[in-house]
A and B are shown apart, each in its own frame.
Chain A
Amino acid sequence: MPILSAPSHPLANDEVARIRNDFPLLANELNGRPLIYLDSGATSQNPVSVMEAEQEYYEQRNAAVHRGAHTLAVEATDAYENARSLVASFVGASPEEIIFTSNATEALNLVAYSLSNASSGRGGEAARPYALGPGDSIVVTEMEHHANLIPWQELAARTGASLRYIPVDDDGALRLEEAAAVIDGSTKLLAFTHVSNVLGTINPVAELVALARKVGALTVLDACQSVPHLPIDVTELDVDFMAFSGHKMLGPTGIGALYGRSKHLRAMPPFLTGGSMITTVTMERAEYLPPPSRFEAGTQRISQAVALGSAVNYLAETGMARIEEWERLLGERLVAGLEAVEGIRVLGPRSGQPRIGLASFDVDGVHAHDVGQYLASRGIAVRVGHHCAQPLHRRLGLTASTRASTYLYNTTDEVDAFLTAVTEVRSFFGASAIGGSV
């Protein structure tokens, strides 16, 4: 299924205004003001075409896939597999390398549990290279989302392997000079985020993959914040696994994907087991299907997969390179604007340095919860808290921050309205007058 080609001219506010018409929720109000949605890093909104794809599936094709000979079942199976092909080509993978999961969290856990099962001897000879044990190490970074940290903590605890991390510096950048020491001959796996959901930083994938490759470690990329916002070609990135979530890329909730390099998926034991993933079953044992089916046990998220296929089409038609560039402009406007406000500390890269359309910040003397509440009263939806990255916040000396994150449907006017509201926060809470803590 070919991905439709996108225009080449840059995105601009007038086209974004038309794009917004495709997103009914964006026309809503928040607290009596026009909604300014700056929380797409948490979850994105859906275009009508995506909602219609899901509805059309239920109205015309709903049936169990890979089970049954009737026409509906065939159509449902085609729709599901077509969605897989769309998602695969969106990230430069082959369909058999894409496993549907419920979200990125499950995708990362799938890898962790498959390796765990290999470590307890499941999967036979082929799976032996995937076993971990005492003396082995798993390496992550200090900026991970909990979804790309805790599964590895648990895997380490189950297998006796150690968990190490690549630290970040005061600006939140990975200390690559330390990475070379942390990743050594004991390292079996390196898991890291492509783009930080707190800092907006784009990590140097090639350098990290090279370090892992040198010691023969597997690489797992958390692409939750990159696949929705940047053109991604997984063969170019050259990682072994890559996880992302549909709800952050115009798709519905309940669907995500794991990319896995074919040679690994073919050798690895399953995570969840049951129907739809087997060939022969006796009362004692079972033989498993090849991937991706081996990793998709039970009735799958068919309508969500179909809708994700539609989301991917929407993004491809708009053009990922254009979205990347538009969000680079919005991100730069956000950061430059925030840096100009007294009493604000922006986390992550300074203005002028690469980042996606996302900026987290601390307001001196005002807690993030109060910042978010003030912005909500102005119709502005942002995220507050630790954004599922407690260790990173602790490293930066914070317990919480406020995060604004954009998508293809945000305008420069919205960013400006957000910045204006941010300048009002400290005086509302009386923080600018005393310059201290509220």
Chain B
Amino acid sequence: MSSELESLYQQIILDHAKRRVGQGSVDPSSGAGSELAAGCSTGESHQLNPICGDEVTLRVWLADSRIERVAWEGAGCAISMASASVLTELVSGSTRDDMMEQLDCFRELMRSRGTVVPDEEVLGDAAAFAGVSRFPARVKCAMLAWVALEEAVLAANS
């Protein structure tokens, strides 16, 4: 098996592509109830990669600048689905500022064409996507959910 291919499809990625943490209804009321305070603000974003048709609709719930919950619906390749899943696990409970740092760090990694060593402190499991940066055609797949997250947070704050 080619090691190039394995650097792209790390086991963590293949696992998350199947587990899909956070996949579920993005209905604004779907998170209402016990643990979500009535004071939550929420925002949604839909992202489409017109080249391959990958799609993600992602919703965040924020309380006191903290990400209380992320939910998403989508269809696409293993990279885009795993990225949404890893992101959900990573940013849930983070402050808005921490999330922005994670996003910047991930974006820099994706743009690096394999030249940046991922900061596992900041990125956690998302560091497994480092190999994607050497496949420019797939960077958009990995970024899709992150772009949706950024927009959803903006929408929640506006």
Instruction: List A residues at the B interface (Cβ < 8 Å).
Output: 31-32, 366-370, 373-374, 377-378, 384-386, 390, 399-400, 428-430, 434, 437-438
The chain B residues found within 8 Å of chain A, CB to CB, are 1-2, 4-5, 8-9, 14, 17-18, 51-55, 75-79, 81, 135, 138, 141
Q: Which single member of A377, A378, A384, A430 contacts B52 (CB below 8 Å)?
A: A384
Contacts of B8 in A (CB 8 A): 373
In the complex, A430 Cα to B10 Cα: how many Å? 12
CA distance A429 to B16 in the complex (A): 12
CB pair A367–B78 under 8 Å, yes or no, is yes
B21: min CB distance to chain A, Å: 15
Closest chain A CB from B86 CB (angstroms): 15
Interface pairs A-B: 7 shortest CB-CB: A369-B77, A367-B77, A399-B53, A377-B5, A377-B2, A370-B78, A438-B17
- With both beta carbons as reference points, the residue of chain A lying nearest to B8 in the complex is identified as A373
Residues of chain A with a CB closer than 8 A to B77's CB = 367-370
Evaluate contact between A373 and B14: CB separation under 8 angstroms. Answer: no
Instruction: Please give the distance in Å from B151's CB to the nearest CB on chain A.
Output: 22
Which of A32, A373, A378, A434 is close to B18, meaning CB atoms less than 8 Å apart? Answer: A434
B51 touches A31 (CB 8 A): no
Count: A-B pairs, CB below 8 Å: 58
Cα separation A390 to B55 with both chains bound (whole Å): 14
Let me know if A400 and B53 touch, CB within 8 A.
yes
Query: Are B138 and A369 touching (Cβ within 8 A)?
Result: yes
| CB atoms of A438 and B14 under 8 A apart | yes
Instruction: Kindly list chain B residues whose C-beta atoms are within 8 Å of the C-beta of A377.
Output: 1-2, 4-5
Taking the closest CB of chain B, its distance from the CB of A16, in whole angstroms, is 27
Minimum distance in angstroms from B125 CB to a CB of chain A: 17
- Given known contacts A385-B51, A430-B14, A369 and B141 CB-to-CB distance under 8 angstroms: yes
Q: Is the CB of B18 within 8 A of A430?
A: yes
Q: How far apart are the CA atoms of A36 and B99 in the complex, in Å?
A: 43
Contact of A438 among B18, B51, B55, B141 (CB under 8 A): B18
How far apart sit A385 and B76, CA to CA, in the bound complex (Å)?
Answer: 11
Interchain CB contact under 8 A, B14 and A429: yes
Min distance, Cβ B146 to any Cβ of chain A, angstroms: 18
Chain B residues, CB < 8 A from A366: 78
Sample of 25 A–B contacts (CB below 8 Å): A31-B2, A31-B4, A367-B77, A368-B52, A368-B77, A369-B52, A369-B76, A369-B141, A370-B9, A370-B78, A370-B79, A373-B8, A373-B135, A373-B138, A374-B5, A377-B2, A377-B5, A384-B52, A385-B52, A390-B53, A399-B55, A400-B52, A428-B1, A428-B9, A438-B18
